[in-house]
Each structure stands twice: as structure tokens, then as C-alpha cells.
Amino acid sequence: MAKLYFRYGTVSSAKTLNLLAVAHNYRNQGKKIALIKPELDTRFGKEKIKSRAGLEKDADILVKPDTELDFNKFNNVSCILVDEAQFLSEYLINQLREITVVLHIPVICYGLRADFKSKLFEASKRLMEVADTIEEIKCTCNFCNKKAVMNLKHVDGFATIEGPSVQLGCEELYFPVCFNCYKKQIDDAKKAKTREEALTT
């Protein structure tokens, strides 16, 4: 049976670069692949799958949470690669799982494990439950040399755990951090907000 893979990492851990490298290897061998991305990810253009290193390819399939995948579109496909998998729905993850069983095509999903509030995304949770192979793509903390395990959100120069879980941004909003730096940044932001409120009262 073909496998369902979940390759996760923090922001800036080169997940998309990894995906594009895998896509290149398959195509270099003359094999057909299918690139999937969520329709809501329009940071670099609606159909673009682009790494921060500058490499890019167009997605073959754009999906919404309620998209019903047409299995016939995957005829002769050797591998399915999914970018920003955390933005998918559980419904879609279940379909990708089914593809590996029915069509015997491996599916590799790349995405974040948790949001900036340290909560699992719906799709990431489902992938952790049903994936055959779970692999971490590692990177270092933005503020020290420890391994990054959290995604830290900044607004107006201060760390925050407020706002919607799905809010698209790049380095100006999100940073890969270790847990210690995550906690320190959040605590420092709370103290700064308290001081600011005290000065205005």
C-alpha cells in the first residue's frame, strides 16, 4: 500500500523548498506528479507554490475545505504533493488517505503542525492521526540556536497570541522559535502592554 506522509515544520523551515525539490526529482525521472495547494493561500499568487528561496511552480489542483477530489485526475500520477497542508480540512485529509489505498499513489503533505497559539490545525491533527510516516523538518530558533518548535506571531513589533489562527503572512508576521523564546516574547509583550496601559490611565 502507498503511504501518506506528513512532513511538518515551523515557519521558515524550508517545507515548500523541500516539496519543490521532491517535485523536481520526480519530473527529472520522467514521472508525473500532482501538486495541490489550498485556494486561500494567495500570498504569492493564487496558483503559485513558491518557496522563500525563490523557487516556484504552479499548482495543478486548488482546493477548498469542501472540495471533492476527482480520483480520475490522478491517472498515471506517481506522487501527490500537498503544500500548506495545515489549511486543508479533515474531509480532504480523509480523501488523500483514501487515494493511497484505492489508487496506490503516495501522498506527501507539507505544513505546520500548530498555529501561533500552539494549537493543532484541524488538518494537521488528522494527519498526525492517520499518516503512515510523520517527519519533522527542522530549523533553528530566530532568537537563539535551539531547535524551533513554535510559531511566534508579531503585530506592530510585539508578540501576540490574539487574532484568528488562519492569517497569512511571511517573516514580518511569523517567526520560528524554541519554547523558551516563545514564552519570553509573549511574557515581555504582556509586560509592555501593562506598562503602556498604566501610562495612559
Q: Which residues are catalytic?
A: 84
Under DSSP, the state recorded for 120 is B
* Chain-centre distance for alpha carbon 201: 42
Q: Pick left, alpha or beta for residue 130 (phi over 0 → left; psi -120 to 50 → alpha; otherwise beta).
A: alpha
Residue of 168, 170, 122, 175 whose CA lies nearest to 151? 175
Which amino acid is residue 15, in one-letter code? K
CA–CA gap between residue 178 and residue 153 (Å, rounded): 13
CB atoms within 10 A of CB 193: 12
Render the burial of 119-128: b for 16+ CB within 10 Å, e for the rest. ebbbbbbbbe
Which amino acid is residue 108, in one-letter code? I
